[in-house]
Copies of this chain bind each other. A is one copy, B any other.
Amino acid sequence: MAIDTRGEKRIMYYQRRITGLQQRLRRRRLDGIIIARPENRRYLSGYKGGDHGIEESSGLLIVPAKGAAHLVTDFRFELQAQQETKDIMVHVHRGGVIQLLGQLLPDLSIKRFGFESDYTLYFFAEKLKKELRPKGISPVPVQGLVEQMRIVKDEQEIALIKKSVQLNEAVFSSVFNELGAYRTERELAAAIESAMVRQGAEKPSFSTIVASGRNGALPHAVPGTDRIEQNGSLTIDMGLILNGYCSDMTRNFVPQEPDSTYRKLHRIVRKAQLAGIAAVKAGARCCDIDRAARAVIKDAGYGNYFGHSLGHGVGLAVHEEPRVSAKSRRKLKAGMVITIEPGIYIPDWGGIRLENMVVVTSDGCENLNEDTTMLDI
């Protein structure tokens, strides 16, 4: 593949990230780390291979504390890995990945290496220990090393996230304009996902949620074969991946005329969202953002109907740090990208959730979404 200058620039990003990780490894006196989580792998190497679940890895990235990184994969992903990476040696295992690690790690002088304990199956970690310890190699569970690097986005990443959000909005608009063409939740969800890809997305960043009427009371409803109610609330929670970066937004409206209950609840949720957004700025704590939004819903008497946290980080993963929850005392930093998504869910009636993404800045935040479906409050 020919590398254009933009390509060269991106490779510099990867090299800088690898160097940053290596500093962290040396600080922890680790000789290297094995990266299994696909988003971390992509962040560090550019390799886009997707796992078919955690059990079918499309590759392990070995980053020694010094020197070039290596990728261990199998036959199916060999060509792709070679095409998508640079300065990374691709190894193909045939007799099992641990066997190859048993040869490769000593060659790289790696004795004490980290593995991602929050993305490694228990039996695999035990097997690593059992087979490598006799060779004098010690696996050490670590958590969040690369995730902590990913939490603050650089300019290039923010530009890519904005593109992802813009495309997500464009897809929503195109489908919203012909809403009447879709009879069931499932048809509408399929139309959204198909439009995402037709309009250039890699794929949806999660399974699109379309919940009509009382189904909206399930925050993570699976689109079913129920007809879309024209007079009930309609929740559409959708996101896509573009250039590796995710978007995530929720729209809520009534296809025909909203009644007074809907209007009342919608206004409460929207007020909560605006209160949450107003509280965002570098230095603010996640729990305080959550509380600012939650207070509006509590004060209106619906505190028991808002059972999830206010938001989450978005980047290469659609759910990542920071968690914007009542439990998190983490302080926001400029360059973090988070969702603000309060909701009210009432069994046998339905639900309303409104979700936008914002970039944290030193004195506030930048709202990335243009929501044209909001009721005027």
Contact = CB atoms under 8 A, between A and B. Distances in A.
Contact of A75 (B202, B206, B308): B308
B76 A308 contact: yes
B50 A222 contact: yes
A163 interface: no
A220 interface: yes
A118 B55 contact: yes
Contacts of A194: 190-191, 193-194
B120 A121 contact: yes
Given A122-B122, A141-B122, A186-B197, A56 B319 contact: yes
A197 B189 contact: yes
A203 interface: yes
Interface residues of A, number: 54
A180 interface: no
A222 to B, nearest CB: 7
Contacts of A143: 123
A74 to B, nearest CB: 8
A126 B198 CA distance: 44
A9 interface: no
B119 A121 contact: yes
A209 to B, nearest CB: 11
Given A54-B53, A121-B117, A121-B118, A75 B198 contact: no
A247 to B, nearest CB: 16
A46 to B, nearest CB: 14
Given A122-B120, A122-B122, A77 B187 contact: no
